[in-house]
Structure 1
Amino acid sequence: RVDLGAYSYLLEQQGNDWFVVGGDKVISPSTQSALALYSAAPAIWMSELSTLRSRMGEVRVSGQAGGWIRAYGSRLNATTNDGVDYRQKQSGLSLGADAPVEVSNGRLLVVVLGGYSTSDLDLSRGTTGKVASYYAGAYGTWLSDDGYYVDGVLKLNRFRNKADVAMSDASKAKGDYNNTGVGGWVELGRHIKLTDDYFLEPFAQLSSVVVQGQELRLDNGMKAKNARTRSVLGKVGTSLGRTVALKDGGVLQPYVRVAVAQEFSRRNEVKANDVKFDNSLFGSRGELGAGVSVSLSERLKLHADVDYMKGQHIEQPWGANVGLRLTF
């Protein structure tokens, strides 16, 4: 094959000459790298927040000031609307501090957070990408006396993106760009106490992120440009867990979670050498998760969570995080 513009074409030998077979074109490795990088940023932003959601229930219930740290990792398989497949491995670290605020009804905590993650993208035939993400944000969580709660988050990211392309003729091409993303998330739910120390926590969530459009120039001459990349994700689900009192006075709290989600953003257009591509991940998905928190001492708690997600254009075979929280 030979790469010409945004596509790769099959070469056919006729005598001593080679001819391009125009009817058998596929998206070129250079274009694939651009589409994967532009698609990855919203998924990275969402994944960084998923570790935060898994521990907010414990923070709401305790109502105490504290500091926390979490390490996380995940594997993601995605196929854009125009058929570009890539695999993403992400790992990172989040930390933050929360403090209670006096309110007349219920409990309110406000939190600052920051973190860093790296994501390695693997495409076909040796083409790879890398995204380094730095972020900071704030959130608040309010729990009423009758169990209703509201969570809200704002987060700002700075992304550093690199492409390393293996072209069809085995030569290499490279390029990079930086951009910024900002988004928020709001969740409504209720913590319902059941018999025998079980609890149920149904919830509805809406999150949205906008990532700055930017141009990627590869050193082989290929240019790609996208408008702002948007993601609007709605989710409903429930958690079921139990609070178990331990003999030493500590608490063990296992849980399972199930949810369905819908990506509402239908189009994320990218131009590669003036050819338009639809980079959308629009569609529905299902999620399963499980986790546990356990008191290591009066002030120190350990948390661990695993989750799985499967959808029309996206699958997360596994995600895991583990962390500690120290109350002040």
Structure 2
Amino acid sequence: MRAYGNRLNATTSDGVDYRQKQNGLSLGADAPVEVSSGQLVLGVLGGYSTSGIDLSRGTTGKVDSYYAGAYATWLSDDGYYVDGVLKLNRFRNKADVAMSDASKAKGDYTNNRVGGWVEFGRHIKLADDYFLEPFAQLSSVVVQGQELRLDNGMKAKNDHTQSVLGKVGTSLGRSVALKDGGVLQPYVRVAIAQEFSRHNEVKANDVKFDNSLFGSRGELGAGVSVSLSERLKLHADFDYMKGRHIEQPWGANVGLRLAF
């Protein structure tokens, strides 16, 4: 189980500013699968999140997301690993649009998203119980295009929105043995990411806008995981991200894992 939240501040290629605050809850269940080499875990997940969006000049929006997916993790005997996730979202979108004459118009629509990511890395043990985890990740998302009709007759249409994000980074941490037999692992993480997708177009009353977030960004994070027993493990992490068109002032995850 994982609870999460974050805040995003973004400026699109056409200079449109918006702020988004998201929080959500995710549940998952997995099981080991016997393989000839290493360890393989397969699982399913599902969850819900809600996002509040504030644009310039009083326009606001809300997005409720319901999602389900599957994931897999393979661990080799010498520390290499591969993680993969595939997820399908169903969005319920509501918009409250401020018009140039100070009036308000409302509308809503639903659409879908499919996305996933794959990560390759290695857990490297260092002296004095320190460890290093370099990794490379590639993620991709496609959001269904949809038309929004407001109650004043105005309409806006999104083309299919795409994102292709590459990331490389590393974590540095230490394993600390606890008196009761548990293990505490504090760590820090640094990464560089590149958004490759361009020209995500929105059309409002036949006027075109580009909401692309193409560009690079840097990420910093810190966290801790603790194994309280063979069955119970807790974790928490906090992240900051900054790029040319986007900033995440804060992001947080808190979760637990229970083995049966």
* TM-score in same-fold range (> 0.5): yes
SS at match of 1:324: strand
Give me the whole-angstrom Cα distance separating, in 2, the residues matched to 1:266 and 1:172: 31
Q: Which residue of 2 aligns with 1:139?
A: 71
Is 1:279 the counterpart of 2:211 in the alignment?
yes
Q: Which residue of 2 aligns with 1:101?
A: 33
CA deviation map 1:268-311 (0-9, x unaligned): 11111111111101000000011101123342121111000000
Q: Which has the higher strand share?
A: 2
Deviation at 1:176, TM superposition (A): 0.8
Is 1:318 the counterpart of 2:257 in the alignment?
no
- 1:235 corresponds, among 145, 149, 167, to 167
CA deviation map 1:198-217 (0-9, x unaligned): 11000000000101000011
Give me the whole-angstrom Cα distance separating, in 1, the residues matched to 2:188 and 2:198: 31
**Fraction of identical pairs, as percent:** 90
- 2:12 corresponds, among 73, 77, 80, to 80
- 1:176 corresponds, among 108, 122, 128, to 108
Q: What RMSD over aligned residues (CA atoms) do the two structures have, in Å?
A: 0.9
Q: Which residue of 1 aligns with 2:128?
A: 196
- 2:21 corresponds, among 89, 110, 119, to 89
Q: Which residue of 1 aligns with 2:178?
A: 246
Q: Which has the higher helix share?
A: 1
One-letter code aligned to 2:2: R
- 2:56 corresponds, among 119, 124, 131, to 124
Q: Which residue of 1 aligns with 2:151?
A: 219
Give me the whole-angstrom Cα distance separating, in 2, the residues matched to 1:250 and 1:191: 19
* 1:40-59 paired onto structure 2 within 5 Å: none
Give me the whole-angstrom Cα distance separating, in 2, the residues matched to 1:71 and 1:146: 31
Give me the whole-angstrom Cα distance separating, in 2, the residues matched to 1:152 and 1:93: 20
SS at match of 1:125: helix
- 1:255 corresponds, among 175, 178, 187, to 187
Give me the whole-angstrom Cα distance separating, in 2, the residues matched to 1:94 and 1:246: 29
Structure 1 stretches of at least 4 aligned residues deviating more than 4 Å after TM superposition: none
Aligned residues: 260
SS at match of 2:57: helix
Deviation at 1:111, TM superposition (A): 1.0
Give me the whole-angstrom Cα distance separating, in 2, the residues matched to 1:227 and 1:172: 24
Q: Gapped runs of 5+ residues in structure 1?
A: 1-68
